[in-house]
Amino acid sequence: MKTVVGTAKTNTWALIFSDFKEITKARLALSVVFSAIAGYFLGADRIELTAIFLLAFGGYCMVGASNAYNQVIEKDLDALMSRTRNRPIPSGRMSPSTALIIAVIMTILGVITLYILNPKTAMFGAISIFMYTSLYTPLKTKTPLAVFIGALPGAIPFMLGWVAATNDFGIEPGTLFMIQFFWQFPHFWALAWILDEDYKKAGFKMLPTGNKDKGTAVQIIMYTVWMIIISVIPVFGITGKLSLSIPGGIIVFLLGMVMLVFALRLFEKRDNASARKLMLASVSYISLMQVVYVADKFI
């Protein structure tokens, strides 16, 4: 009997933990934390493990809070889509009030933790939550420009790490911000291409032209080109303390060109398989590019 009760408790805690990961979108949050830590390494003169821990914990809290608020606001729309109908709130496993409590607690913890690093880091973290929940989320059903608005808070993590390390915002974190800002368009539009039918069930307007057509593919190519250009600008020594060697710049350029090839293939074929390959290439690009930047500084 005790074994059965113990197993039931274990299963209950496993389900609670699983729902917490889903309400905070753990995989996405961890990728954001990775970007922030990469930015910290680029900005720091001396690496401090305490600062990295505070940045990682505070960053996860801020992203997790944004995602929890988002799922509270969109609970009825999530129930309409195949991809999201089994999320904790629309499935009934978690009440909206519980999710809201989680979001509020994580917001408070995140702001306090980032404030311990420095006030600017906390300010940018708070701005990202506000823009994501108060601007991007309600605009998704109204205009494709929501993606542009959403790209602003989405571009903060990479630069947030630099600000956390230096307590300063200048051309260096601004450049990191622009790299991740332009990257988000091909990444997210490739994802929106794949999920277009599902998104339309909830009335989301995510593709720039509203359709999986040449116009959308052309914009994906344009933003990919801008991403490549911004990513290699530090090679020319015009971005302050943020620098990139010629070999590092060549590697970053080639990574971007791989992504551009997939974008061109999407323009040619305009099918979900091509969009999926571009989306996966974009995920690889952002991580590898950040690794190259960090390695280039320390090697």
Q: Are 136 and 149 in contact (CB under 8 A)?
A: yes
Handedness of CA 178, 182, 183, 184 (dihedral sign): positive
Domain borders along the chain are 12-167, 170-299
Q: What pLDDT was estimated at residue 5?
A: 52
Predicted local distance difference test score (pLDDT) of residue 245: 96
148-198 pLDDT per residue, tens: 999 999 999 999 999 999 999 999 999 999 999 999 999 999 999 999 999
From residue 47, give the alpha-carbon distance in Å to each of 38, 162, 193, 240, 265: 12, 12, 40, 20, 41
Question: At residue 61, what is the residue type?
Answer: C
Return the amino acid letter for 166: T
Average pLDDT over the chain, rounded to whole?
Answer: 93
d(CA 199, CA 185): 17
Per-residue pLDDT tens over the stretch 216-263:
999 999 999 999 999 999 999 999 999 999 999 999 999 999 999 999
Which residue stretches of the chain are H helix? 2-23, 26-43, 49-73, 75-78, 96-117, 119-130, 137-139, 146-154, 156-166, 171-194, 196-201, 214-232, 246-269, 272-298
How would DSSP label each residue in 108-125? HHHHHHHHHH-HHHHHHH
Please answer whether residues 133 and 66 qualify as being in contact, where contact means their C-beta atoms are separated by less than 8 angstroms: yes
Task: Write out the two tokens for 108.
Answer: 């408070």
pLDDT tens per residue across span 33-48: 999 999 999 999 999 9
Confidence of residue 1 (pLDDT cuts 50, 70, 90): low
Query: 1-10, 139-148, 184-193, 280-289: which range is least confident on average?
Result: 1-10
Task: Evaluate if residue 26 carries a pLDDT over 70.
Answer: yes
SS3 65: helix
Q: Are 256 and 227 in contact (CB under 8 A)?
A: yes
pLDDT for the residue 7:
60
Evaluate if pTM is beyond 0.85.
yes
Task: Note the pLDDT tens digit of each residue in 97-125.
Answer: 999 999 999 999 999 999 999 999 999 99
Instruction: Work out the burial of residue 49: count CB atoms within 10 Å of its CB; fewer than 13 is exposed, 13-18 middle, 19 or more buried.
Output: exposed
Which positions ≥6 away from 110 have C-beta within 8 Å? 58, 59, 60, 61, 62, 64, 65, 125, 129
Among 214, 211, 256, 212, which Cα is nearest to 231's? 256
CB 266 within 8 A of CB 274: yes
Pair of tokens at residue 270 = 């305009």
- The count of C-alpha atoms lying within 13 angstroms of the C-alpha of 84, restricted to the half-sphere facing its C-beta, is 21
According to CATH, the superfamily of the domain at 12-167 is: UbiA prenyltransferase (1.10.357.140)
As given in the structure block, the two tokens for residue 152 are 């602003």
Average pLDDT over every residue of 3-23: 74
pLDDT tens digits for range 40-86: 999 999 999 999 999 999 999 999 999 999 999 999 999 999 999 99
pLDDT of 6 strictly over 60: no
pLDDT score for 299: 85
pLDDT bucket at 13, cuts 50 / 70 / 90 = confident
In this structure, the dihedral spanned by the alpha carbons of residues 169, 290, 194 and 78, taken in order and rounded to 10 degrees, is -50
